[in-house]
Amino acid sequence: MTAQEIEQYLREVGSELALQNVKGEICLYGGAVMCLVFKARPATKDVDAIFEPVKYIRQAITKIAEKYNLRQDWLNFAVRMFVVEHEKKVLFDFPNLKVYVPTASYLLAMKVSAARANTSDRDDIEFLIRELKLENAEKVFEIVREFYPKKQLKPQSRFLIEEIFEQK
C-alpha cells in the first residue's frame, strides 16, 4: 500500500464510523509511518496500529478490505503487545476519526527492539538515525532504554546498531 492508498483507506474508516455515529482513534506504527510521515519508502505491505473502539473499527476494516480486495488484516492490531506509553502527534483529523503517529524517537526504539531479519527494519533504522542526527550507537541505545527500560535488547539488535555506525 502506498501512502496515498493508506490515507484513502483511513479516510474511509472514518466515513464508516460516521455511518455508525461513532468517533474513533487510530495510532499508526511501523512501515505506514515510514511511508506517510517520513516518505522513507514508497509502500508497506500492511498497516500496524492500535485503535479504539475496536469493534467498530474492525467492522470498517473488513468493509474496506472487501471493497478494495485487500487482506482482512490490512490494518492490524498485532503491534499492541509492543506498545508502551509514548508521545503522539495528530497526522489526520477526519470528522469521525483521529489518526496519530509516534515520534521518530519512539519509532526508532520499536524498530531497534524488533530488528527482524529479512524486513525493512534495517533501512528504517538507518533512516531514523539520520533523521534524529544520532552520532553513535550509545545514543540509539539510550533512546531504546528511555522507552523500554526493563527490556533486554536482543544481541542481534545491538550488533545491527553497532554495525550501522561502523559503516559510517
pLDDT digit string, tens, across residues 104-135: 999 999 999 988 877 889 999 999 999 999 99
* Residue 46 cell numbers, joined: 500492511
Q: Cα dist. 29→47, 136, 139, 165, 167 in Å? A: 7, 24, 22, 25, 27
Rounded to an integer, the average pLDDT of 45-66 is: 96
At 95, the pLDDT band (50, 70, 90 cuts) reads very high
Cis peptide before 102 (omega within 30 of 0): no
Q: Where are the domains of the chain?
A: 3-102, 105-166
- Averaged confidence pLDDT in the chain: 95
Report which of 29, 16, 7 is spatially closest to residue 93, judged by C-alpha positions.
7
Q: Are 33 and 40 in contact (CB under 8 A)?
A: no
Instruction: Give residue 148's pLDDT.
Output: 95
Q: What is the edge-to-edge ordering of all strands in the sheet holding 97-102?
A: 75-76, 47-52, 24-29, 97-102, 88-94
At 167, the pLDDT band (50, 70, 90 cuts) reads confident
**Nearest-angstrom CA–CA distance, 46 and 32:** 7
> Which range among 12-16, 28-32, 33-37, 164-168 shows the weakest confidence by mean pLDDT?
164-168
